[in-house]
Amino acid sequence: MSKAAIYIRVSTQDQVENYSIEVQRERLEAYCKAKGMDIYNVYIDGGYSGASMERPDLKRLLSNLKDIDAVVVYKLDRLSRSQRDTLELIEEHFLKNNVDFISMTETIDTSTPFGKAMIGILSVFAQLERETIAERMRMGHIKRAENGLRGMGGDYDPAGYIRVNGQLETNEEEATHIRRAFDLYEQLHSITKVQEILKREGFPVWRFRRYRDILENPLYIGKVKFSGKLYKGKHDPIVSERQFTRVQTLLQRHKGNNAHKAKMSLLTGMLRCDHCGESFVSYSTGISKKNKRPYYYYICRSRRFPSEYEIKCQNKIWSRKKLESLIIQELHNLSFEKTKSASPVKNKVNFEKLIKELDRKMERLINLYASNTKISSQMLESQIENLNVEKEKLIAEQSSSSETDELVPENMIELINTNFDDLEFSYKQSIVQKLVKEIHINELDVTIDWRF
């Protein structure tokens, strides 16, 4: 019996087109049963546009092609609304892996010559429909911006304003906070120092990233932005254009340089402060007359950004090189016998079960939206986005787990003790995350919670 993978995609707008997850699933399962095909798995992307291939379950499906014989969809545009992407998926992924593609509604089956020919024709119309919808939405956004209205930015009030009947009105308390932040940044040229002063002055201090976004947002000079163009807004400005321009010049001069360096930190996301419970973050010093080269460190977040907390943490700042060397040495000290006898092996995580549970939550949420007009589309999209973020994390963990499963425990320990230093960074990180659950920092004491 051939194995079929069912692929389902639904956006919030598709709900009114009778393309709900439930409808697609029922019809596709019945189709597979009628054709005598065994269902290998059901892949669901909820709240994703067909214009992009950046969809978590589509990627998961492509990684499992070696285990299936056919991919079945309800309609061609469920796979993609882009002609180029449709042909790429079918020709470069499915057919090259000897996987047939079947679209139930259009009765397309790539195992036949006629089915292959119809793919090209129908994908043209799918792309035309997508581009027509996109153009209508773009014109609506432009018209909204020309009328001085802020874009549909989600179900929240931007800092400094409240929404009243669709219009932005100034929130004076937050507006005072924002004006003070602009004034201080002009004087200090540092968001961290701005946070320190605001905290002393009794303001509720926000996160670093939020201040950065506010300082470079033209919303606060009474303008709205769409597609790179500025339009005069209907709302009142909070700061002057002249001050805003000066601040943009300063922001360009003081760009942060730590974002990409943090990605090369082997222990990011695993370090926990035993003083205050916060995580440790990676940062680096700049190059100056005193420092001829940058130095890299791990530091408690509460110590790195003290203005965001009631009390500044005083836990030790660790050299990134020293701390990573210490952990790598502990990895070298591992042996297969230790990993086997240290503690009972925990049950393997059932990623498929967790992913399917998220799909069910998404399906219930979309069905609730379809039957309850009191739920706003912004609220739905926000909840769907949160579920998709959680789902992407699970899929990434599943992928990381499958990459290193064959190395645990004997081969992984052997690999650590032979050529760990020569491995690519991403593979090193994957091995560390596979073995280490969390690392606790208490001054000079470093405690590792192993996963075994």
CA proximity to 330, closest of 441, 439, 422: 439
Q: How far apart are CA 162 and CA 228, in angstroms?
A: 24
Could you count the other beta carbons within 10 Å of the beta carbon of residue 125?
13
- 372/404 Cα distance (integer angstroms): 45
Please write the tens of the pLDDT for every residue from 175-197.
999 999 999 998 888 888 888 89
Largest CA distance in the chain: 75
Confidence band of 431 (pLDDT split at 50, 70, 90): confident
User: Does residue 337 surpass a pLDDT of 70?
Assistant: no
pLDDT at 86 (0 to 100): 82
Q: What is the pLDDT of residue 443?
A: 92
pLDDT, residue 223, reads 86
- Residue 214 CA to residue 238 CA, distance in Å, equals 11
pLDDT tens digits, one per residue of 68-113: 999 999 988 888 877 778 888 888 899 889 999 988 887 777 777 7
Structure tokens at 302: 């509460």
Q: Residue 144: pLDDT band by 50, 70, 90 thresholds?
A: low
Confidence of residue 291 (pLDDT cuts 50, 70, 90): low
Residue type at 90 in one-letter notation: I
The catalytically annotated residue of 11, 279, 284, 400 is 11
| pLDDT, mean of residues 247-272 | 71
Q: How far apart are CA 198 and CA 177, in angstroms?
A: 8
More confident position, 408 or 3: 3
pLDDT surpasses 70 at 257: no
pLDDT greater than 70 at residue 235: yes
Q: What is the pLDDT of residue 402?
A: 59
pLDDT score at 30: 93
Of 46-60, 72-86, 107-121, the least confident = 107-121
- CB-based contacts of 329, cutoff 8 Å, min separation 6: none
CA distance readout (Å), 387 to 60, 186, 357, 360, 364? 16, 40, 10, 11, 12
- pTM for the full model? 0.44
Single-letter amino acid code for the residue at 417: N
40 is written with which tokens? 């290998």
3-state secondary structure of 320: helix
Where are the strands (E) in 68-185, listed by range? 70-73, 100-103, 108-109, 161-164, 167-170
- Report the 10 Å Cβ neighbour count for 109: 18
Q: How far is it, in rounded angstroms, from Cα 419 to Cα 219?
A: 53
Token representation of residue 272? 């926990």
Work out the average pLDDT over 415-424.
72
Q: Clarify whether 11 is annotated catalytic.
A: yes
Mean pLDDT (the chain, rounded): 79
Q: Which residue has the higher pLDDT, 279 or 139?
A: 279
* Residue 16 pLDDT grade (very low, low, confident, very high; cuts 50, 70, 90): very low
**Residue that has been written with the tokens 């999209």 in this structure:** 381
Share of the chain above pLDDT 70, in %: 78
Identify the residue with better confidence: 310 or 147. 310
DSSP 349: P
Number of H helices, E strands in the chain: 17, 15
Within 10 Å of residue 184's Cβ, how many Cβ atoms?
20
Q: How far apart are CA 224 and CA 352, in angstroms?
A: 43
Per-residue pLDDT tens over the stretch 346-367? 446 677 888 888 888 877 777 7
Which residues touch 217 (CB under 8 Å, ≥6 apart)? Answer: 158
Q: Which of 221-230, 278-287, 320-329, 335-344 has the highest mean pLDDT?
A: 320-329
For the cut 60, the answer to whether the pLDDT of residue 14 exceeds it is: no
* Inter-residue contact 214 to 248 (CB < 8 Å): no
Q: Which of 115-119, 253-257, 387-391, 401-405 has the highest mean pLDDT?
A: 387-391
Q: Tokens standing for 383?
A: 């909840």
* Residue 403 scores a pLDDT above 70: no
pLDDT the model gives residue 336? 52
Mean pLDDT calculated for residue range 259-266: 58
Band the pLDDT of 37: cuts 50, 70, 90: very high
Contacts with 214 (C-beta within 8 Å, 6 or more apart), sequence order: 159, 160, 178, 181, 220
Phi, psi of 109 (to 5 degrees): -140, 110
Predicted pLDDT of residue 190: 85
Q: In this predicted structure, what is the pLDDT of residue 406? A: 47
